[in-house]
A and B are shown apart, each in its own frame.
Chain A
Amino acid sequence: MSAGFRTLLWKEVLRFWKVSVQTVAAPVLSALLFLVIFSHALASHVEAYPGVGYTQFLVPGLAMMSMLQNAFANSSSSIIQSKLTGNIVFILLPPLTPGDIFGAYLLASVVRGLAVGAGVFAVTFLLVPLPVANPLWVFAFALVGSALLGALGIVAGIWAEKFDQIAAFQNFVVMPLTFLAGVFYSVKTLPPFWQAASHLNPFFYAIDGFRYGFFGQSDVPPATSLAIATGTLCALSWLTLRLLRSGYKLRS
C-alpha cells in the first residue's frame, strides 16, 4: 500500500466524515422512517420466513439498501464534485497510479457504507432485536455490497459531466435496482416472471446473502450469492481500472 493511496483514502474518509450529519446520520434517519412506516403498515400481513416477523425481516434489507446507496453516493459525488470544481487536478498531477485512485475511492465508499449500516443497526436495535446467525456472512456481504456500489459510483463519477447525470444514474439505476432487490419483501412471494427478473439483479444477492447472515434462511444459498456479488464486483473493478488507465474523461 503506497503512501499516496493511504493519503487519498484518508482524504476521502475525512471528506464524508466532516459532514457526517448529512452523509451518515441522514440516511440512518431515512432507514428508521422506512422501518417505522412499513412495519406499521405491513406487519400484520406478511411473514417472509417461518418464524421471522416482517419487521425483523425488514431491518437487514433496509440496512443493506442504505449501505448500497451511500457507498454509491460517496465515490460518485466526490469525483463529480472534484471534476466540476476543478480540484481533481490535485489528484491527477501527483504520481498516483490508477490502482491507488481506484482503491482509495472504493475503500472510502466501503467505510461510508459500513458506517451507515452500523448506524442503522444501532438505532433499530432497541426497537427490533435481531438474531445474528452467522456474523461472518453479515460482514462479507456488507463488504462486497458496499464495494460493488463504490465501484459503480466511481464509474458514474468518471462518466458524468454534471450533477444531473449523477442524480439520473442514482434515480434510474441505483434506486430501482435496490428497491427491486427484495428489501421490502422476499422475492419468493413474487410471480415467476418477476422472481426470474430479480435473479438478474446483482443487488438482490447482496441483500439476500446479508439477510442469511442474520436468520440463517435465504432465497438463494449464501455461497452462490457471494460468488455472484463478488464476480460482479470483479467485473466492475476491471472496467473501472480500465477507465482510469485510459484516462477516459479525466485526462483529455
Chain B
Amino acid sequence: MTPAVEVRDVRKRYGSLDALDGVSLRVEPGEFFALLGPNGAGKTTLISALGGLVRPDSGVLRVMGHDVAADYRAARNALGIVPQEIVFDPFFSVRETLELQSGYFGLRGNGPWIDELLERLALGPKSGANMRSLSGGMKRRVMVAQALVHRPPVIVLDEPTAGVDVELRQTLWAFVRELNAAGHAIVLTTHYLEEAQQLCSRIAMMKAGRIVALDQTARLLAAFSERVLRVKFAGCELPASLTAGATRAADGAWRLPVEGAAQVEMALARLREAGARIEHLEVAEPELEEVFVKIMANAGEATRAPA
C-alpha cells in the first residue's frame, strides 16, 4: 500500500546546524502518528519540508506517493497542515477565509463542507466575524478548518493545543478522531505527552534533527515504562520477596513494579503477612512522559559519544 507519508534520509542544514540529519519514517494511511521531541528537535522543519515551505538539501519526501518537489501539486492536494504559529489575514471574515482557502485548492461550491467545518469546530456563530476580532483559540480553530477545506487524506497538526482551553481541546480531538476513523492519516506534534499517548498508535521521537525512537505506542510504553504500585506503610520493613526492582521515594513510599492485578494482590498479601499498616496506596500506569525522558537522556549520551 502507498504510505500516506514517506520520508527517506532527509537532510537540511542551516549554517552549522543540522536541522534534519538523515530523517526517515513512514506513516501508513489511516494511521494516528505522533512526532515528539523537545523544541528545536526538527519537528517543524520536517513538517515544513513536507508542505514545501522548506527545501531539504537531500532526501525524498512523498505524500500519498507524490514527491513534494517533482509532483508538488498532487502532494499539496493530499496534505493539510495546521501551522504551529497563529497566523491569519486581518482583511477577511472567517467564512471568507475558508472560501478563499477552498479556491486556492481549486474548489468551487465548497459551501456545504465549509458549513460542516464551521459547525464541527464550533465556529458557526463567528462565521461573519473578522479574523482580527477572534480570540487566540478561535483563530486556531479557523486554522484547523483552513487545513481541512480540501479534505486531505493526510492531516498534520503542529502543536494544535499549545495554549488553548480545555473546551477547544476536547472539540478538536473529538473531530480529529472522527476524521481518523474515516480514514484520514493524522500526524501530530505536541508537548502534551498524555495526548499523544491517548491518541496515537505509533510514535516517533526526534532529537537534534534525528529520529531517536520509532515504534508502536504500546511497545514503547512496555519497553521503557512500567506499571508500579506506590505504597506507603508503617509497622515493618519491605519484605525480601518484594525488593526486586523496588525503589523508595523521598517521602518514604515504595514503588514496586507490577505487571497485573494478580501481582498487586500478591504484593499486598505479602505486606499484610509482614504486619504492615498501609497508609497510602495507588497503582500508576505506564506513562509516555517517562518513556520520553528516558529516550531523550539515552539519545543525549549517544550524541555525546565520539563518532
Residues of A within 8 A of B (CB): 2-4, 6-8, 10-11, 14-15, 18-19, 82, 85-87, 89-97, 247, 251-252
- Measured CB to CB, the closest approach of chain B to A204, in angstroms, equals 35
Is chain B's interface secondary structure helix, strand, loop, or mixed overall? loop
Task: State how many angstroms separate the Cβ of B162 from the closest Cβ of chain A.
Answer: 15
Q: Which residues of A sit under 8 angstroms from B106, Cβ to Cβ?
A: 2-4, 95
Task: Name the B residues within 8 Å of A96 (CB-CB).
Answer: 104
A119 → B minimal CB distance (Å): 21
Q: In the complex, are the beta carbons of B104 and A94 less than 8 A apart?
A: yes
**CB–CB A95/B87 < 8 A:** no
Q: A95 is contacted by which of B48, B77, B108 (Cβ under 8 Å)?
A: B77
Could you tell me the distance in whole angstroms from the C-beta of A18 to the nearest C-beta in chain B?
6
Q: Quick check: B100 and A7 within 8 Å, CB to CB?
A: yes
Q: Considering the complex, which residues of chain B in the window 82-98 have a beta carbon less than 8 Å from any beta carbon of chain A?
A: 83, 85, 87-92, 96
Residue of B nearest to A96 (CB): B104
In the bound complex, residues from chain A placing their C-beta under 8 Å from that of B104 are: 4, 7-8, 90-91, 94-96
Name the 8 nearest CB pairs between A and B, nearest first: A7-B103, A94-B104, A86-B87, A95-B73, A3-B106, A95-B76, A87-B87, A87-B89
Given contacts A95-B76, A95-B106, contact A252 B54 (CB under 8 A): yes
Interface string of B230-249 (1 = CB under 8 A from A): 00000000000000000000
Nearest-CB residue, chain A, relative to B89: A87
Name A247's closest neighbour in chain B (CB-CB): B55
- Whether A95 lies near B72 (C-beta < 8 A) is yes
B54 contacts across to A, CB distance below 8 A = 251-252
B19 closest partner in A (C-beta): A252
Q: Give Cα A145–Cα B45 distance, bound, in whole angstroms.
A: 40
Contacts of B77 in A (CB 8 A): 95
Q: CB-CB < 8 A to B51: which residues of A?
A: 89, 92-93
User: How far is A94 from B104 in the complex, measured between Cα atoms in Å?
Assistant: 6
Which residues 151-187 in B have Cβ within 8 Å of A in the complex?
A: none
Assess the A97–B73 pair: CB atoms within 8 A.
yes
Does B55 contact A95, Cβ atoms closer than 8 Å?
A: no
CA distance A87 to B107 in the complex (A): 20
Instruction: Give the A-binding residues of B (Cβ under 8 A).
Output: 48, 51-55, 72-74, 76-77, 79, 81, 83, 85, 87-92, 96, 100-108, 146, 150
A18–B100 Cα gap in the complex (Å)?
15
Q: A86-B87, A89-B83, A90-B101 are in contact. Are A3 and B52 (CB under 8 A)?
A: no
- In Å, the complex CA distance between A200 and B146 comes to 47
Decide: A252 and B55 in contact? CB cutoff 8 A: yes
Q: What's the least CB distance linking B73 to chain A, in Å?
A: 4
B103 with A4: CB separation less than 8 A: yes
Q: How far apart are A239's CB and chain B's nearest CB, in angstroms?
A: 20
Chain B residues closer than 8 Å to A90, beta-carbon distance: 87, 89, 100-101, 104, 146
> CB distance B87 to A251 under 8 Å?
no
B53 and A4 contact, CB distance less than 8 A: no
Closest partner residue, chain B, to A250 (CB atom): B53
Nearest opposing residue in chain B for A82, CB measure: B89
Per the bound structure, the CA–CA distance linking A8 and B89 in Å amounts to: 13
CA distance A11 to B96 in the complex (A): 9
Q: How far is the CA of A3 from the CA of B102 in the complex (A)?
A: 10
Distance (whole angstroms) from the CB of A45 to the closest CB of chain B: 45
**Contact A251:B55 (CB < 8 A) given known A89-B83, A90-B146, A95-B72:** yes
Q: Are A89 and B53 in contact (CB under 8 A)?
A: yes
B72–chain A nearest beta-carbon distance, Å: 7
Q: Which residues of A contact B100 (CB under 8 A)?
A: 7, 10-11, 90
Output the nearest chain A residue to B12 by Cβ-Cβ distance: A252
Are B53 and A94 within 8 A (Cβ)?
no
Which residues of the other chain, B, contact A4 by a CB distance below 8 angstroms?
103-106
Complex CA–CA separation, A14 to B90 (angstroms):
12
Cβ-closest chain B residue relative to A86:
B87
Q: Does the CB pair B91–A85 fall under 8 Å?
A: no
Q: Which of B96, B100, B104, B107 has the most CB of A within 10 A?
A: B104
**Alpha-carbon distance between A131 and B288 when the two chains are bound, in angstroms:** 80
B299 CB to nearest chain A CB (Å): 26
A252→B90 CA distance, assembly (Å): 25
| Nearest CB in chain B: distance from A249 CB, A | 12
- Contacting residues, chain A, for B83 (C-beta < 8 A): 86, 89
CA–CA, A114 and B284, complex, Å:
71
| B76→A87 contact, CB < 8 A | no
Please measure, in the bound complex, the distance between the C-alpha atom of A92 and the C-alpha atom of B79, giving whole angstroms.
12
Which chain B residues border A18 with CB–CB below 8 Å? 91
**Roughly how many angstroms separate A97 CA and B76 CA in the complex, as a whole number?**
11
Q: Please, how many angstroms separate the alpha-carbon atoms of A93 and B53 in the complex?
A: 7
11 interchain pairs, CB-CB under 8 A: A11-B92, A11-B100, A14-B92, A85-B89, A90-B104, A92-B53, A94-B76, A94-B104, A94-B150, A96-B104, A251-B55
